[in-house]
Each structure stands twice: as C-alpha cells, then as structure tokens.
C-alpha cells in the first residue's frame, strides 16, 4: 500500500498568495534536486465541511435581491423570445431577414454559435478528466450546466429555420402514416438531428451522474423532510458506499471516454451541413477541425464570462482561484491561435487551389461589402487573445472578462461571415444580394440569451454549482480533515519560495 | 425479528489513508459484509477491500455493439429496402453516409445505458447497507467503516471492539430503525 504523498509545505494558501508558479524548495527533491510543489487548488485552508457549507449555502438560503434582479432581467429577455417566436409563427418567415440569395441567415448563425458555446462543458468534464487535469474540478459543474443550456438554446434555431416549425417531428425517423416517408440518411441535415440530440442527452447524463454524490450532500444538509425526500429521490438514495463508488467511477471514466469523441463529432457534423454543399467558401475539407476548435474557443470564452461573475457573486474565489482563471486563459489563447491559423489556411488554400470561385469568395470576405464583419471576427478571435502571452493580464479578471466578451462577439461574427459572405455573392453576379438582420432576428438572438440565463440562474439557485465530491478529492486531507480546527494560513510561505 | 434489531456497526475515520489501512485489516480479519461510506472515491480502496475491477466497461461494450447494430439496421432498412431512392446514381447502401448516425447511436446507447446500469449496480452489488435514516457524515468529511450484522462472523461486542481497535472514532451500533448507540 502506498501512502498519499502530502507535502509539509504550504498546502494552505490564501487566494492572494497564489502566483501560478510552483513552490520551489531547493534541495528537497528525491535525488537532491529542487522539490517543486504545485499550489493548492482550493485556497483559504478550507476543511471538507466548509466546502459543503460554502457551496450549498446559496442553494439553501432564500434568494437575494441581486439574484431576483438578475432573474428578472433574464425573464424579460425570455419573454422577448417568446413574443418574437409567436410573431414569427403567426406572421410567417417574412418577418426574418432571410431571402434570396442569403437563405441561411441569423437562425443558422445563432444555431452554430450556441452549439459552439455548448462544447466547452463536455470538453472540460471529459477531455480534461482523461488528461488528469485536476483544476477542472472547480469549474466542471457550471461548465457542464452551461453546455446543457446552450444546447437547449441551439435546439430552437434549426426548428424555427424549417419555416413550418410545427412539422419538426417529421425529422425523426419513425414508422408513420405518411407513406411511411423517411428522412434521407444520406443528408448531413439528418445526421445533425442525431448528433445534436445525442450530444444533449449524453451531456445531461454525464452532468447528472456527476451530480449524484453532491445531491446526497445537499440531502444530508436539508432540514425540511420534503426537501430531504426530494433530494434523496434525485440522488437515488446515494450513501457514499465504496462498492457503489467503484461502479460509479468506472462509469464516469467510460462516459468521459465516450463523450470525448462525441464532442469532436458533433461540431464536425454541424460543419458537414456546410462542407458537403457546393458553395465556394463552404466546400472545404478544413471545416470539421476548424469548427471544432472554434467551438472549444467560444465555449471557453463563455465559461470565463460566467466564472468571473460567479466567483465574485457566490464567494467561490477559494474554489475557482486565479490559477483556474489563468489556466482557462491559456486554453483560450491556444485555441485562439488555432482559429487564427484556420483563417489563414483558408486564404492560403483559396490561392493555392487556383480555383477562381474560391479565390473570389475569400477576397470578397475580407475586402468586400462585409469587410467590417471579417475585421471584427479576425481582430476579436485571432489578435485580442494574444494579450494572454503576458502573465499579469492572464491573472487580471477585468481583462479576462473583457476578452471573453470580445471573443464571444468575434465568434458570433465568425459564423456570420461564414454563412452570409459565402451566400451573398455566388456564381452568377445577377443573383448577388445583401443580407441584414431585421428587428425580429435581433429579438430572437437577444431572447435566446434570456433563455440561457434564465436556465442558468435556476441552476445556481437549486443545485451545487461546484462539484463538491470532486473538489474534496483534490484537497490535502491533512488540512481538510474533520476533527481539527481550521489551520492558520502559513505565514512563512514567502520564505520557502526561491 | 424485533423492530429494533441491530443492523451493524459504524466507525469513523478522518483521512483516506486511515481508511485504506483499516480496509486491509478488516479484510485480513475475515469480515466480508463490510463497506466504506466516503464523501469521495479513494484511490486504491477497492483493492484494499479485496474487490475486483468493476465490470461496467463490459456492459458498455455490449451496449455500444447494440447501438451500432440498431443504427445500421435502421438505415439499411429505410434506404435500401423500404424506400429505395436514387440520389445521383449512388448506391442505395452507401455505407460511408451511414457512419455519422452509426457513431452517434453507438455513443447514445453506450453512454445512457452505462450510467443507468452503474446506478443500478451500485444499489445491487453491495453488502447489506445501513438504514437510510442513519445519518453518518459520510457525505461530508467522514470515512465511515460499516460492518453489517449479516456478516457470518457477526457478534455485536466483538465487532465493536474490533472497530475500536482499528483506531476508529465514534464507534456506534446501528439498529434497523437508523438509531445509533455507542
């Protein structure tokens, strides 16, 4: 049996003492070299019992005025969505901006945008889990919830794009009285139905499986018998049995291994909607990786946006530390560079292929009537994340927040550029045209944010926003154990740093 | 059976290391109907308790094969047999076009089925569990050893003494109503 290695140094640190660099103890290493100790993932010398209290409390208290305010604003935007959708169904597709030649407009842009946002949650929970990145524990629960709600938002758009949304169930292949008339399984649009619904349901399962032990924690803290009974039913009577943990851990690993290729497949299939067409600017083999990396990029930006809010608002600064934020900034910069690389590759291939249509469409993208959209896209996605080469900027939450918002804007415009600029000038100059969003397009876009934030605020109101059992697993038992007073923050910490 | 028969004994440990050490001793002493109730999974505890690897991945494999078979059967039935249509002279059984849905169906069946089976297996593949009303702090910060009264070696006094000797704190007998007494 091997004993857990716990360091004698500074596993208790305050948030302000974090530097993002390991603590170096000269000469203390196993072969006489330097010993490098990672900074703790949870700061403030928390005990396991305190973790429960810190994370469950806001779901147990009566909501604050700030929560109601935020919820009210979100509900207002959600009503805007409902109003706009009723108008769309009642009046017809004419209220939206789509027309010839731009027949795919804001609905498809918003669909790809939201599905992209929905990629970071499962990436954080599955891919970072397989790579044993323990810092994921602080952010994975909220990121997975974000994924689910983003998929819900995304799911609206293909349905309303159909024009006759009330026939959306025709997309599902089932023996029917219409022939039976089946969907065409050779079509990427039919693949999309399977990809999105599978992704939504598997993400939900993965998220809920992670929630089980935490729901048991909430149950054991509950005082009202109804609340206890409700949470007990929700966690299937989880009692922490290690014989159950054994299967649970195995299933969690299996789900992570299944979800990882799933994340990559979903946006790949979304990109097939474009790439299997014959439109210049869409018909390229780079689309699947380009879409996947863009999705991860935009998803991480949204996680940063939400986390900067949540760690302040819910007092999670000890669980989502500056080190977590810095790690996310690094991922954001890396994926941002990949996105920039994809933009450049597209241009190179347009020139190198010698295809006149392809060459024209890319010149038109960057310098045609939609040059401003291309400029916003390129600046926000490829240039602004370069700020994160500098450590002080990676650790500044104001900078992180601003950059994450800009990246979200840039990624919306990336989809705008892909959809609109490829369609508005095709093979025949006589059928060229322009596209503009109408009031109702904007209303549905803003309303979808209302839906997203309504769901997210309900999530933070009723469920633990941090994966309690996973966070407990990465804490130092010597510090976090029961039956001991909270140890003081190590005052001599600076002395052991070299 | 009297309404308040003894269900087993609890003993608290405060650190994962202590639980690991205790698990090996419990197993070496010949107890079989025992379990640890912990707030998070402890690496190596299943080996220390003498458990084999979980069989869950095998179930996943079977479910994945089912998903593949289902998707292939559905697509070939529709596109080749029930409603064959000519798309640009391509073959009806155009298998490359069936790959994405086959993959998605595999993941769908495997993931949802695995989660469901794991939850059920966690309920079934266990020793007799303590009564649900016996709150024990195992979802907070205790690593609680549980020895059930269904163990063939069971003797309340001996079990209590044994758990105390392991160094467990707060050793208490649990009755079938969930009540505890030291």
Please state the ipTM of this predicted complex.
Answer: 0.92
Assigned domain for B131 exists: no
Mean pLDDT of all residues belonging to chain A? 87
> CB neighbours (10 Å) of residue A246?
25
Chain A, 173-232: which have a CB under 8 Å from a chain B CB?
Answer: 173, 179-186, 188, 190-191, 194-195, 198, 201-202, 205-206, 208-209, 212-213, 216-217, 219-220, 232
Band the pLDDT of A9: cuts 50, 70, 90: very low
Q: Which of A240, A265, A479 to mutate to test the interface with B (most CBs of B within 10 A)?
A: A240
Tens digits of per-residue pLDDT, A170-186?
Answer: 888 888 888 888 888 98
Band the pLDDT of A484: cuts 50, 70, 90: low
Q: Are residues B71 and B98 in the same domain?
A: yes
- Chain A residues touching residue B74 (CB < 8 angstroms): 173
Asked if the Cβ–Cβ distance from A185 to B75 is below 8 Å, we say yes
Q: Residue A240 has what pLDDT? A: 87
- Chain A residues touching residue B86 (CB < 8 angstroms): none
Q: Residue A5 has what pLDDT? A: 41
Q: Are residues B35 and B67 in the same domain?
A: no
Band the pLDDT of A490: cuts 50, 70, 90: very low
Q: Residue A178 has what pLDDT? A: 84
At B144, which CATH number?
Answer: 3.30.70
In the predicted model, is pLDDT for residue A51 greater than 60?
yes
In the predicted model, is pLDDT for residue A13 greater than 50?
yes
Average pLDDT over residues A82-108: 92
Asked if the Cβ–Cβ distance from A236 to B121 is below 8 Å, we say no
- Give the pair of three-digit tokens for residue A84: 């706009």
Q: How far is A481 from chain B (nearest CA, A)?
A: 6
Compute chain A's Rg from CA coordinates: 25
Tens digits of per-residue pLDDT, B69-78?
Answer: 999 999 999 9
Average pLDDT over residues A424-443: 92
Q: Are residues B64 and B119 in the same domain?
A: yes
Assigned domain for B1 exists: no
In the predicted model, is pLDDT for residue A270 greater than 70?
yes
- Give the pair of three-digit tokens for residue A475: 């804490």
Average pLDDT over residues A302-306: 93
Assigned domain for B60 exists: yes
Tens digits of per-residue pLDDT, A371-396?
Answer: 999 999 999 999 999 999 999 999 99
b/e code B129-166 from CB counts within 10 Å (16+ = b):
bbeeebebbbbbbbbbbbbbbebeebeeeebbebbeeb
Asked if the Cβ–Cβ distance from B83 to A232 is below 8 Å, we say no
In the predicted model, is pLDDT for residue B154 greater than 60?
yes
Closest chain B residue to A216, measured at CA: B139
Cα-based distances in Å from A89 to A84, A95, A96? 9, 10, 11
Contact between residue A335 and residue A301 where contact means Cβ atoms under 8 Å apart: no
Q: Are residues B85 and B108 in the same domain?
A: yes
| Distance linking the first and last C-alpha atoms of chain B | 22
> Which among A212, A241, A249 has CB closest to B129?
A241
In the predicted model, is pLDDT for residue A447 greater than 90?
yes
Question: Which range, of A47-56, A207-216, A265-274, averages the lowest pLDDT?
Answer: A47-56
* A3 interfacial to chain B (CB closer than 8 Å): yes
Q: Are residues B39 and B65 in the same domain?
A: no
How many Å apart are CA B182 and CA B165, to the nearest integer?
15
Band the pLDDT of A131: cuts 50, 70, 90: confident
Average pLDDT over residues A73-102: 94
Chain A, 126-165: which have a CB under 8 Å from a chain B CB?
Answer: none
Average pLDDT over residues A289-297: 92
Asked if the Cβ–Cβ distance from A477 to B87 is below 8 Å, we say no
In the predicted model, is pLDDT for residue A359 greater than 70?
yes
Average pLDDT over residues A466-481: 84
Average pLDDT over residues A411-437: 92
Asked if the Cβ–Cβ distance from A47 to B141 is below 8 Å, we say yes
DSSP A274-314: HHTS--TTTS-TTHHHHHHHHHHHHHHHHHHHHHHHHHHHT
Give the residue among A497, A487, A488, A466 at the shortest CA–CA distance from A143: A466
Chain A, 479-498: which have a CB under 8 Å from a chain B CB?
Answer: 480-484
Band the pLDDT of A491: cuts 50, 70, 90: very low
Q: Residue A290 has what pLDDT? A: 92
Average pLDDT over residues A441-453: 96
- Give the pair of three-digit tokens for residue A159: 């349905």
Assigned domain for B112 exists: yes
Asked if the Cβ–Cβ distance from B118 to A247 is below 8 Å, we say yes
Q: Which of A184, A205, A239, A249 to mutate to test the interface with B (most CBs of B within 10 A)?
A: A239
Asked if the Cβ–Cβ distance from B15 to A481 is below 8 Å, we say yes
User: Which sequence spans correspond to the domains of chain A?
Assistant: 87-463
- Chain A residues touching residue B169 (CB < 8 angstroms): 483
CB pairs under 8 A between A and B: 213
Domain boundary among B76, B92, B124: B124
Q: How far is A68 from chain B (nearest CA, A)?
A: 30
Asked if the Cβ–Cβ distance from B44 to A243 is below 8 Å, we say no
Question: What pTM does this model have?
Answer: 0.91
In the predicted model, is pLDDT for residue B48 greater than 80?
yes
> CB neighbours (10 Å) of residue A479?
18
* A341 interfacial to chain B (CB closer than 8 Å): no
Q: Residue A11 has what pLDDT? A: 60
**Full domain range(s) for residue B100:** 56-124
Assigned domain for B64 exists: yes
DSSP A77-128: HHHHHHHHHHHHHHH-GGGSS--SS--S-HHHHHHHHHHHHTHHHHIIIIIH
Average pLDDT over residues B31-37: 89
> Which among A191, A250, A480 has CB closest to B100?
A191
Tens digits of per-residue pLDDT, A221-235?
Answer: 888 889 889 999 998
* A262 interfacial to chain B (CB closer than 8 Å): yes
Chain A, 47-86: which have a CB under 8 Å from a chain B CB?
Answer: 47-49, 52
- Please state the domain count of chain B: 2
Mean pLDDT of all residues belonging to chain B? 87
**Cα A173 versus chain centre, distance:** 30
- Chain A residues touching residue B82 (CB < 8 angstroms): 180, 182
Question: Which range, of A19-23, A167-171, A172-176, B24-28, averages the lowest pLDDT?
Answer: A19-23
Q: Which of B48, B100, B109 to mutate to test the interface with A (most CBs of A within 10 A)?
A: B100
Tens digits of per-residue pLDDT, B52-104?
Answer: 888 999 999 999 999 999 999 999 999 999 888 888 888 898 889 999 999 99
Average pLDDT over residues A121-147: 87
Asked if the Cβ–Cβ distance from B141 to A482 is below 8 Å, we say yes
Average pLDDT over residues A63-85: 92
Q: Residue B4 has what pLDDT? A: 65
């Amino acid at each position: 049996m091997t004993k857990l290695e716990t360091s004698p140094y500074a596993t208790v640190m305050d948030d302000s003492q974090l530097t993002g660099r390991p603590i170096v103890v000269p000469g203390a290493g196993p072969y006489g070299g330097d010993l490098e100790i990672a900074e703790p993932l949870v700061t403030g010398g928390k005990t396991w019992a305190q973790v429960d209290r810190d994370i469950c409390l806001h779901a147990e208290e009566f909501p604050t005025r700030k929560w109601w305010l935020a919820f009210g604003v979100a509900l207002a935007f959600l009503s805007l969505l409902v109003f706009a959708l009723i108008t769309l169904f009642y009046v017809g597709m004419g209220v939206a901006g789509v027309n010839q030649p731009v027949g795919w407009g804001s609905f498809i842009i918003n669909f790809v945008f939201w599905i992209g946002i929905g990629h970071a949650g499962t990436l954080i929970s599955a891919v970072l889990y397989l790579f044993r990145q323990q810092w994921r524990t602080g952010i994975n629960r909220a990121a997975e919830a974000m994924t689910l709600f983003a998929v819900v938002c995304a799911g609206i758009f293909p349905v309303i794009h159909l024009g006759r949304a009330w026939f959306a169930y025709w997309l599902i292949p089932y023996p029917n009285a219409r022939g039976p008339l089946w969907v065409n399984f050779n079509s990427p649009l039919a693949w999309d139905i399977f990809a999105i619904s599978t992704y939504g349901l598997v993400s939900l399962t993965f998220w809920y499986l992670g929630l089980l032990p935490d729901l048991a924690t909430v149950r054991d803290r509950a005082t009202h018998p109804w609340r206890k009974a409700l949470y007990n039913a929700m966690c299937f009577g989880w009692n922490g049995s290690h014989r159950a943990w054994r299967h649970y851990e195995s299933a969690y690993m299996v789900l992570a291994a299944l979800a990882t290729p799933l994340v990559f497949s979903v946006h790949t299939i979304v990109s097939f909607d474009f790439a299997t067409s014959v439109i210049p600017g869409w018909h390229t083999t780079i689309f699947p990786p380009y879409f996947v990396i863009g999705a991860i990029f935009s998803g991480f930006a949204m996680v940063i946006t939400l986390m900067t809010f949540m760690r302040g608002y819910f007092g999670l600064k000890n669980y989502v530390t500056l080190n977590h934020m810095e790690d996310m900034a690094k991922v954001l910069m890396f994926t941002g560079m990949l996105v920039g690389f994809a933009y450049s590759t597209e241009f190179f291939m347009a020139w190198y292929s010698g295809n006149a249509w392809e060459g024209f469409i890319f010149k038109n993208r960057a310098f045609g009537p939609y040059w401003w959209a291309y400029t916003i896209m390129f600046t926000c996605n490829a240039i602004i994340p370069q700020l994160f080469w500098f450590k002080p900027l990676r650790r500044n939450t104001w900078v992180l927040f601003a950059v994450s918002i800009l990246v979200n804007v840039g990624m919306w415009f990336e989809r705008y550029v892909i959809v609109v600029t490829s369609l508005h000038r095709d093979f025949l100059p006589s059928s060229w045209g322009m596209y503009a969003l109408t009031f109702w397009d904007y209303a549905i876009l803003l309303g979808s944010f209302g839906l997203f934030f309504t769901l997210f605020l309900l999530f933070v109101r009723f469920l633990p926003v941090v994966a309690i059992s996973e966070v407990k697993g990465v804490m130092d038992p010597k510090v976090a154990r029961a039956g001991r007073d909270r140890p003081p923050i190590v005052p001599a910490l600076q002395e052991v740093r070299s | 059976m009297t309404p308040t028969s003894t269900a087993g004994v609890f003993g608290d440990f405060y650190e994962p290391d202590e639980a690991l050490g205790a698990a090996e001793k419990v197993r070496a002493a010949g107890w079989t109907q025992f379990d640890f109730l912990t707030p998070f999974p402890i690496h190596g505890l299943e080996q220390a308790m003498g458990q084999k690897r979980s069989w869950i991945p095998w179930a996943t494999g079977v479910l994945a094969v089912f998903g593949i078979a289902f998707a292939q059967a559905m697509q070939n039935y529709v596109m080749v047999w029930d409603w064959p249509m000519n798309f640009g002279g391509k073959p009806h059984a155009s298998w490359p076009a069936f790959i994405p849905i086959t993959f998605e169906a595999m993941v769908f069946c495997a993931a949802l089925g695995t989660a469901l089976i794991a939850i059920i297996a966690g309920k079934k593949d266990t020793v007799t569990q303590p009564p649900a009303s016996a709150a024990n702090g195992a979802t907070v910060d205790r690593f609680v050893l549980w020895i059930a009264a269904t163990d063939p070696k069971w003797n309340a006094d001996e079990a209590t003494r044994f758990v105390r000797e392991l160094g467990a704190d707060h050793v208490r007998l649990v009755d079938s109503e969930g009540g505890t007494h030291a």
